[in-house]
Amino acid sequence: MRMVRFTPRFWISLAVFSVVVAFGVFGPMVAGDKLGEGVGGLYDPPSAQAWLGTDDLGHDIFTNLMFGTRTSLVIGFVAGAFATVIGVVVGLLAGYHGGRVEEALMGVTNVALAIPAIVVLILLSVALDFRSIVTMALVIAITSWPWTARAVRAQTSSVRTREHLDVARLSGAGTWNILLWDVLPYLMSYICMAFVLQISSAILAEAGLSLLGLGPSDSVSLGIMLNWALVGESLRTGAWWAFVPPTVLLTLIAFTLLMLQSSLDQVFNPRLRGGRRRPGLASLTPQTGVGLDVRGEEGGER
């Protein structure tokens, strides 16, 4: 496989995101037992014992932040994974078969898209007595898969007409074999980008739900921290350390993931990488420039 060139933007966003993940993964391991422990008074400002102060129950906000990041990231990944898998399967089948199968699947997808996600999220969350992390992830995935399905279907439709699929059929390969080996690899770059976006939107969706008090029932998440900050009237008492850190972290995660996604777009699409474009008819020249196979062999392009 030809190697893709990674751009600076990619490395920077990956680095920042890795730091956040490390914070969420290793932090709790280090401070494992300190969660839920009262370390000071209510809404103590930042000090040497509590780097980001305490919340309205006297717990260390920095510890909360670490655990909260972990929960949010886990929900984000799991929901993103669910949504992507469902969306990809639906999109592949619809795009490959066309005809009635496509109409039926796209009909379902469009209906799902039309229903406001927030309404479904609230109703489902309220209906559940106990919301575990995985349950929440599922609930969020249910409202976000249609978007991926639609995009994957469009991509599949365009890959479907390529000749290598005909060759695969003539070689006796079955539908699933073809979808897995002849269609899916061509969509991988797109699916990667979609997955990154799904994680980002899932994390924000969880934050929104938690803010409304519908978050995971037995864990701390960034959204739950915000909820506590609101409920504990930290805004009124001026305890900025209760709501600013989770907000900053949420923003950082969302922004970094967005940067990562756009950098992936650059990686997979060399034309976006920058460089001068010449004016005139020559700007019509296809991406390969002058169409020369630099190895000097008879290439597919003359």
Partner 1 sequence: MSDATSEVLLRARGLRAAYSVDAGEVVAVDDVSLEVRKGEVLGVAGESGCGKSTLAAVLSLTARPPLFVQAGELEVEGRRLDLGPDTSPPRTWRGEVVSLLPQGAMNSLNPTVRIRDFVVDIVRAHQPKAKRDEAIDRARERLEQLDLPRCVLDCYPHQLSGGMKQRVVTVVSALLDPRLLIADEPTSALDVSSQRVLIEMLKEMLARDIIGSVIFVTHDLPVLNTIADRIAIMYAGQIAEVGATREVIDRPRHPYSAALLSSVLVPEPAIRRRRVTGIPGSPPSLLNPPSGCRFHPRCSLASETCRTEAPPRAGDERRYSRCWWASRHPDQTVEVTA
Partner 2 sequence: MTASKEEVLDRQVDGRPAPLLEARHLTRVFGHGKTAVRAVDDVSFTLGRQEVVTIVGESGSGKSTLARMVLRLLDPTSGTIHLDGRDVTRLRGKALRTYWQEVQAVFQDPFSSFNQFFTVRRLLRRSLRLTGATTDEAGEALIAQALEHVGLTPAEVLDKWPHQLSGGQRQRVMIARALMLRPRLLVADEATSMLDASLRANILNVLTDARQAYDMTILFITHDIGQACYVSDRVLVMCQGKLVEQGPVDEVIFSPRHDYTRRLLADVPRLHAVS
Q: Which residues sit at the interface with partner 1, rule CB under 8 A? A: 275-276, 278-286, 289-299, 301-302
192 binds partner 2 (CB under 8 A): no
Q: Does 100 bind partner 2 (CB under 8 A)?
A: no
Give the number of other CB atoms < 10 A from CB of residue 161. 8
Which of partner 1, partner 2, none does residue 275 bind to, with CB < 5 to 8 Å depending on kind?
Answer: partner 1
218 binds partner 2 (CB under 8 A): no
Q: From 14-22, 53-61, 213-221, 292-300, give the range in contact with partner 2 by CB under 8 A.
A: 292-300
Nearest CA to 15 out of 277, 260, 280 is that of 260
Contact positions with partner 2 (CB under 8 A) in 119-158: none
Indicate which single residue of 45, 185, 213, 238 sits in contact with partner 2 (rule: CB under 8 A).
185
Residues comprising the chain, all counted: 302
Query: Which one of 6, 11, 26, 181 is in contact with partner 2 (CB under 8 A)?
Result: 181
54 close to 42: Cβ distance less than 8 angstroms: yes
Q: Please identify, using beta-carbon distances, which residue of 11 and 176 lies nearer to partner 2.
A: 176
Alpha carbon 75 to its chain centroid, in Å, reads 10
**Cα dihedral 229, 230, 231, 233 in deg (nearest 10):** 80
How many angstroms separate the CA atoms of 23 and 49, rounded? 19
Given partner 1, partner 2, none, residue 181, with its beta carbon under 5 to 8 Å by kind, binds partner 2
Instruction: Assign 3-state DSSP to the chain and report helix, strand, coil percentages, each to 5.
Output: 70, 0, 30
Residues forming the site for partner 2 (CB under 8 A): 1-2, 162-164, 166-173, 181-182, 185-186, 293, 297-300, 302
